[in-house]
A = this chain, B = another copy of it.
Amino acid sequence: MEIESPPVHRERIVPTGERRGLVLVHTGDGKGKSTAAFGLALRAHGRGKPVLIYQFMKVPSARFGEHRVFEQLGVPIIGLGDGFSWKSKDLEHSADLAREGWARAEATIRGGEHFLVVLDEIMYPLRYGWIALDAVLACLRERPPHVHVVLTGRGAPAELIELADTVTEMQMVKHHFKAGVPAQRGIED
Protein backbone atom coordinates (compact mmCIF):
# COMPACT_ATOMS: atom_id res chain seq x y z
CA MET A 1 0.00 0.00 0.00
CA GLU A 2 1.53 3.26 -1.06
CA ILE A 3 1.01 5.94 1.52
CA GLU A 4 1.09 9.54 0.55
CA SER A 5 2.99 11.59 3.07
CA PRO A 6 0.58 13.66 5.13
CA PRO A 7 1.52 17.30 4.57
CA VAL A 8 0.66 18.20 8.14
CA HIS A 9 3.68 16.24 9.26
CA ARG A 10 5.90 17.04 6.32
CA GLU A 11 5.40 20.69 7.18
CA ARG A 12 7.27 20.15 10.39
CA ILE A 13 10.46 19.55 8.45
CA VAL A 14 11.25 23.16 7.91
CA PRO A 15 14.48 24.89 7.16
CA THR A 16 16.28 26.33 10.10
CA GLY A 17 15.60 30.02 10.17
CA GLU A 18 14.67 32.78 12.46
CA ARG A 19 11.72 32.85 14.80
CA ARG A 20 9.90 36.05 14.14
CA GLY A 21 6.49 37.56 13.82
CA LEU A 22 4.54 36.77 10.68
CA VAL A 23 2.08 38.69 8.55
CA LEU A 24 -0.75 36.31 7.74
CA VAL A 25 -3.55 37.15 5.31
CA HIS A 26 -6.90 35.33 5.03
CA THR A 27 -8.70 36.44 1.90
CA GLY A 28 -11.09 35.05 -0.71
CA ASP A 29 -14.88 34.78 -0.97
CA GLY A 30 -15.29 31.65 1.14
CA LYS A 31 -16.04 31.01 4.79
CA GLY A 32 -13.36 30.71 7.42
CA LYS A 33 -11.33 33.90 7.11
CA SER A 34 -12.35 35.31 10.48
CA THR A 35 -12.92 31.99 12.22
CA ALA A 36 -9.39 30.88 11.26
CA ALA A 37 -8.08 34.14 12.75
CA PHE A 38 -10.04 33.40 15.91
CA GLY A 39 -8.53 29.90 15.95
CA LEU A 40 -5.05 31.41 15.76
CA ALA A 41 -5.92 33.81 18.56
CA LEU A 42 -7.18 30.91 20.62
CA ARG A 43 -4.00 28.93 20.03
CA ALA A 44 -1.70 31.82 20.89
CA HIS A 45 -3.73 32.58 24.00
CA GLY A 46 -3.43 28.91 24.95
CA ARG A 47 0.33 29.35 24.80
CA GLY A 48 0.06 32.21 27.25
CA LYS A 49 0.73 34.90 24.65
CA PRO A 50 -0.94 38.33 24.73
CA VAL A 51 -3.46 38.64 21.90
CA LEU A 52 -5.69 41.49 20.76
CA ILE A 53 -8.43 41.37 18.14
CA TYR A 54 -9.73 44.43 16.29
CA GLN A 55 -12.84 44.07 14.14
CA PHE A 56 -13.31 46.78 11.55
CA MET A 57 -16.82 45.75 10.55
CA LYS A 58 -18.31 44.99 13.95
CA VAL A 59 -19.85 47.42 16.38
CA PRO A 60 -18.32 47.69 19.86
CA SER A 61 -21.44 46.11 21.37
CA ALA A 62 -21.34 42.96 19.20
CA ARG A 63 -22.08 39.88 21.27
CA PHE A 64 -21.56 36.99 18.89
CA GLY A 65 -20.37 33.68 20.27
CA GLU A 66 -16.73 34.62 19.79
CA HIS A 67 -17.13 37.83 21.78
CA ARG A 68 -18.60 35.94 24.69
CA VAL A 69 -15.75 33.41 24.78
CA PHE A 70 -12.89 35.85 24.22
CA GLU A 71 -14.31 38.04 26.97
CA GLN A 72 -14.40 35.03 29.27
CA LEU A 73 -10.79 34.26 28.36
CA GLY A 74 -9.65 37.83 28.86
CA VAL A 75 -8.73 38.33 25.20
CA PRO A 76 -9.82 41.83 24.08
CA ILE A 77 -12.00 41.73 20.96
CA ILE A 78 -12.80 45.28 19.95
CA GLY A 79 -15.41 46.31 17.40
CA LEU A 80 -14.31 49.46 15.59
CA GLY A 81 -17.24 49.90 13.21
CA ASP A 82 -20.68 51.44 13.26
CA GLY A 83 -22.64 48.64 11.68
CA PHE A 84 -21.78 50.03 8.27
CA SER A 85 -23.54 48.35 5.40
CA TRP A 86 -24.28 49.11 1.77
CA LYS A 87 -27.50 50.69 2.99
CA SER A 88 -25.68 53.15 5.26
CA LYS A 89 -26.62 56.78 4.86
CA ASP A 90 -23.62 58.31 6.54
CA LEU A 91 -20.53 56.84 4.94
CA GLU A 92 -18.39 59.73 6.17
CA HIS A 93 -19.04 58.61 9.71
CA SER A 94 -18.04 55.07 8.81
CA ALA A 95 -14.87 56.38 7.18
CA ASP A 96 -14.00 58.44 10.26
CA LEU A 97 -14.50 55.43 12.51
CA ALA A 98 -12.31 53.29 10.29
CA ARG A 99 -9.51 55.88 10.45
CA GLU A 100 -9.81 56.15 14.21
CA GLY A 101 -9.83 52.38 14.44
CA TRP A 102 -6.72 52.11 12.34
CA ALA A 103 -4.94 54.62 14.56
CA ARG A 104 -5.67 52.39 17.56
CA ALA A 105 -4.60 49.25 15.73
CA GLU A 106 -1.40 50.87 14.48
CA ALA A 107 -0.49 51.99 18.00
CA THR A 108 -1.05 48.45 19.27
CA ILE A 109 1.08 46.86 16.55
CA ARG A 110 3.90 49.36 16.90
CA GLY A 111 3.69 49.17 20.70
CA GLY A 112 4.99 45.61 20.57
CA GLU A 113 3.24 44.42 23.70
CA HIS A 114 1.19 41.80 21.87
CA PHE A 115 2.34 38.52 20.39
CA LEU A 116 -0.58 38.53 17.94
CA VAL A 117 -2.80 41.32 16.67
CA VAL A 118 -5.81 40.41 14.52
CA LEU A 119 -7.16 43.01 12.09
CA ASP A 120 -10.46 41.35 11.23
CA GLU A 121 -12.18 42.52 8.04
CA ILE A 122 -9.71 45.31 7.50
CA MET A 123 -9.90 44.71 3.74
CA TYR A 124 -13.23 46.55 3.55
CA PRO A 125 -12.02 49.94 4.82
CA LEU A 126 -8.82 49.43 2.83
CA ARG A 127 -10.73 48.85 -0.38
CA TYR A 128 -13.07 51.77 0.26
CA GLY A 129 -10.04 53.99 0.70
CA TRP A 130 -10.92 54.87 4.28
CA ILE A 131 -7.56 53.61 5.47
CA ALA A 132 -4.45 54.30 3.37
CA LEU A 133 -2.84 51.10 2.18
CA ASP A 134 0.59 52.74 2.39
CA ALA A 135 0.08 53.44 6.08
CA VAL A 136 -0.80 49.81 6.75
CA LEU A 137 2.16 48.52 4.75
CA ALA A 138 4.54 50.91 6.53
CA CYS A 139 3.22 49.85 9.93
CA LEU A 140 3.69 46.17 9.08
CA ARG A 141 7.20 46.74 7.75
CA GLU A 142 8.28 48.85 10.72
CA ARG A 143 6.61 46.87 13.50
CA PRO A 144 8.62 45.21 16.27
CA PRO A 145 9.85 41.99 14.68
CA HIS A 146 8.23 39.62 17.19
CA VAL A 147 4.66 40.79 16.48
CA HIS A 148 2.40 38.51 14.43
CA VAL A 149 -0.40 40.24 12.53
CA VAL A 150 -3.38 38.51 10.90
CA LEU A 151 -5.42 40.52 8.37
CA THR A 152 -8.73 39.20 7.05
CA GLY A 153 -11.26 40.09 4.40
CA ARG A 154 -12.06 39.65 0.74
CA GLY A 155 -10.00 41.37 -1.88
CA ALA A 156 -6.61 41.70 -0.20
CA PRO A 157 -4.56 44.26 -2.17
CA ALA A 158 -1.66 42.89 -4.22
CA GLU A 159 0.89 44.95 -2.26
CA LEU A 160 -0.30 43.40 0.99
CA ILE A 161 -0.08 39.90 -0.48
CA GLU A 162 3.43 40.71 -1.63
CA LEU A 163 4.45 41.85 1.85
CA ALA A 164 2.75 38.99 3.73
CA ASP A 165 4.56 35.86 4.85
CA THR A 166 1.59 33.57 4.49
CA VAL A 167 -1.55 34.10 2.43
CA THR A 168 -4.52 31.78 2.29
CA GLU A 169 -7.39 32.27 -0.10
CA MET A 170 -10.59 30.83 1.31
CA GLN A 171 -12.47 29.84 -1.84
CA MET A 172 -16.18 29.18 -1.72
CA VAL A 173 -16.81 25.80 -3.32
CA LYS A 174 -20.42 25.76 -2.12
CA HIS A 175 -22.44 27.62 0.47
CA HIS A 176 -25.64 26.68 2.25
CA PHE A 177 -27.14 30.15 1.74
CA LYS A 178 -27.25 29.39 -1.97
CA ALA A 179 -29.35 26.32 -1.24
CA GLY A 180 -31.82 28.45 0.72
CA VAL A 181 -30.62 27.42 4.16
CA PRO A 182 -30.57 30.50 6.40
CA ALA A 183 -27.91 31.66 8.82
CA GLN A 184 -27.65 29.38 11.83
CA ARG A 185 -27.15 30.87 15.25
CA GLY A 186 -23.99 29.52 16.82
CA ILE A 187 -22.50 28.84 13.39
CA GLU A 188 -22.73 32.19 11.62
CA ASP A 189 -22.56 34.47 14.65
Max chain B Cβ within 10 angstroms of own Cβ: one of A34, A35, A181: A35
Closest chain B residue to A164, Cβ basis: B174
* CB pair B115 A1 closer than 8 Å: no
Closest chain B residue to A128, Cβ basis: B3
Q: Which of A38-46, A105-113, A136-144 contacts B (4 or more CB under 8 A)?
A: A38-46
Within 8 A of B (CB), among A136-182: 148, 154, 161, 164-177, 179-182
A46 with B32, Cβ < 8 A, contacts A3-B128, A4-B127, A181-B22 known: no
A14 with B84, Cβ < 8 A, contacts A42-B39, A67-B46, A169-B171 known: no
A100 at the interface (CB under 8 A from B): no
A60 at the interface (CB under 8 A from B): no
Q: Report the minimum CB–CB distance from A171 to chain B (whole Å).
A: 4
The distance in angstroms between the C-alpha atoms of A42 and B182, with both chains bound, is 20
| Copies in the assembly, this chain | 2
A173 with B180, Cβ < 8 A, contacts A26-B32, A40-B35, A43-B187 known: no
Q: Report the minimum CB–CB distance from A39 to chain B (whole Å).
A: 3
A12 with B43, Cβ < 8 A, contacts A32-B36, A36-B36, A168-B30 known: no
* CB pair A69 B64 closer than 8 Å: no
Within 8 A of B (CB), among A1-45: 1, 3-12, 14-22, 24-40, 42-45
A binding-site residues for B, Cβ under 8 Å = 1, 3-12, 14-22, 24-40, 42-47, 49, 57, 64-70, 72-73, 84-86, 91, 115-116, 121, 124, 127-128, 148, 154, 161, 164-177, 179-187, 189
